Structure 1
Amino acid sequence: MTSPESRTRRADAARNREQLLAVATRVFASADAETSMRAIAREAGVGIATLYRHFPTRESLVEAVYRDQVVRLTNGATELLADAAPAVALRRWMDLFGEWVAAKTGMLDTLLTVIESGTVAHARTRDELLTAISSILEAGRAAGDLRSDVTPEEVAAGLIGIFTVAHQPGNTVTADRLLDILLDGLRPPARPPAVSAPSGQPGSGS
């Protein structure tokens, strides 16, 4: 039987790991290039030995951050749909996608190495994200507040294009503005008001 002390240590270790993941994600997202493990430990307020105890290599940390972000995106679709209308849920999910893109900036070189090694299946990640988008689009079609002729691949391509453009040096167009425009384009066109037939004409009721 596990002792209370062992359970407490495991719970503390889990909390510390989650805290390190959160800090690493924030540091990666705010960096313009690869960030050192020592800088991440310092930002988290722990010694480098503590960081390495949870993540023995930089690759293991990057992989954990990447997988955590993907889980947040896939679970986020369901959670957002439970709390908001599909169009609103999609707009909030776009922000989550932007956070994922930003986090990759500060760990890109290592992430590419991890993907090339086969540790992270890029194709599987793509399928998971497309499934998340599809679930929101399907809910939107059923509710009538998202177009029925848009594919998940098209939405994903639009998001990637927006965040690529928005992060270009010297660009004055914000990602938020572009995302709002994209969402407007994903809404079904407004139906023109019905025109009543003149009195005495067919359909006037006379």
Structure 2
Amino acid sequence: MTEVKPMRADARRNYERLLQEAQRAFAEHGVEASLEDIARRAGVGIGTLYRHFPTRDALLESLLRARFDAQAERARELLTHPEPLNALQTWLAGLGDTTGTFRGLVELTAGALSDESSRLYASCHAMRDAGSHLVERAKREGELREDVTTHELLLLLHAASWAGGHLPGPGGMQRLLALVFEGLRVS
């Protein structure tokens, strides 16, 4: 077993500056923001960026891991909500807000669900697995159609999140998600 050495103070500062600048760059330019620009803005060379984050996915995963873990935890908390379908909608809306953080993240997370080589694969599957308990509970309680799968709901969420970003004004994704759920309710 290999022992992980703590980062030197200067390496830790570089790591933190890279994450800070990546957050800004991805917020401004989407997930395809220039890695060279991120390194420059952080005051380090591109080699330093790649030592800490060998791929774009690794950088995004480091930025998003806490948010994705929080969404998985939120799904577990919502299992005690008295209204199963409302709990599922609440979780999906929060997940939609998370995946809408950066332009292009919706497509990236949708792809990560089926790409085992993606650094985001494990985080995305942890969220999906936690959410699947909400889906199954809503079905058991007779509030959600039996033929709906978690994977289908996530794809619908990604579609609503993407399309909502093209509607005028705020709240587009939530409005589209509400329309989707009207069709998913048991009549």
| Residue 130 of structure 1, CA deviation | 3.1
| Corresponding residue number in structure 2 for 1:62 | 60
Alignment TM-score, normalising by the size of structure 1: 0.55
Please give the residue correspondences for 1:1-16 in structure 2 after superposition, counting only pairs within 5 Å. none
Q: Distance in 2 between matches of 1:104 and 1:154?
A: 22
Q: Distance in 1 between matches of 2:23 and 2:81?
A: 25
| Residue 158 of structure 1, CA deviation | 1.0
| Corresponding residue number in structure 1 for 2:79 | 81
Seq. identity, %: 25
For the 8 Å contact 1:86–1:136, the answer to whether it is kept is: yes
Q: Distance in 1 between matches of 2:71 and 2:138?
A: 18
Please give the secondary structure, in 1, of the residue aligned with 2:79: helix
Distance change in 2, residues 1:84/1:25 (3 Å): farther
Q: Which of the numbers 170, 175, 178 marks the counterpart of 1:177? A: 175
Gaps of 5+ in 1: 1-12, 190-206
Deviates more, 1:128-137 or 1:58-67: 58-67
Q: Distance in 2 between matches of 1:155 and 1:180?
A: 12
Q: Distance in 2 between matches of 1:72 and 1:21?
A: 18
Please give the residue correspondences for 1:57-136 in structure 2 after superposition, counting only pairs within 5 Å. 57=53, 61-98=59-96, 99-103=98-102, 105=104, 118=117, 120=119, 122=121, 124-136=122-134
| Residue 129 of structure 1, CA deviation | 3.5
For the 8 Å contact 2:69–2:127, the answer to whether it is kept is: no
2:95 partner amino acid: F
CA RMSD of aligned residues (A): 4.5
Q: Distance in 1 between matches of 2:24 and 2:92?
A: 18
Say which one has the larger Rg.
Answer: 1
For the 8 Å contact 2:26–2:102, the answer to whether it is kept is: yes
1:146 partner amino acid: L
Q: Distance in 1 between matches of 2:77 and 2:24?
A: 22
Please give the secondary structure, in 1, of the residue aligned with 2:186: coil
| Corresponding residue number in structure 2 for 1:204 | none
For the 8 Å contact 2:75–2:131, the answer to whether it is kept is: yes
| Residue 31 of structure 1, CA deviation | 4.8
| Residue 145 of structure 1, CA deviation | 2.1
Q: Distance in 1 between matches of 2:143 and 2:60?
A: 37
| Corresponding residue number in structure 2 for 1:138 | 136
Question: Residue by residue, what CA displacement relative to the aligned partner does 1:24-63 show, whole Å, maximum 9, x if unpaired?
Answer: 7687456546568998xx9xxxx869xx9xx945855422
Please give the secondary structure, in 1, of the residue aligned with 2:80: helix
Q: Distance in 2 between matches of 1:182 and 1:143?
A: 19
1:135 partner amino acid: H
Distance change in 2, residues 1:33/1:63 (3 Å): closer
Q: Distance in 2 between matches of 1:75 and 1:104?
A: 24
Distance change in 2, residues 1:70/1:145 (3 Å): same
**Aligned pair count?**
166
Please give the secondary structure, in 1, of the residue aligned with 2:101: helix
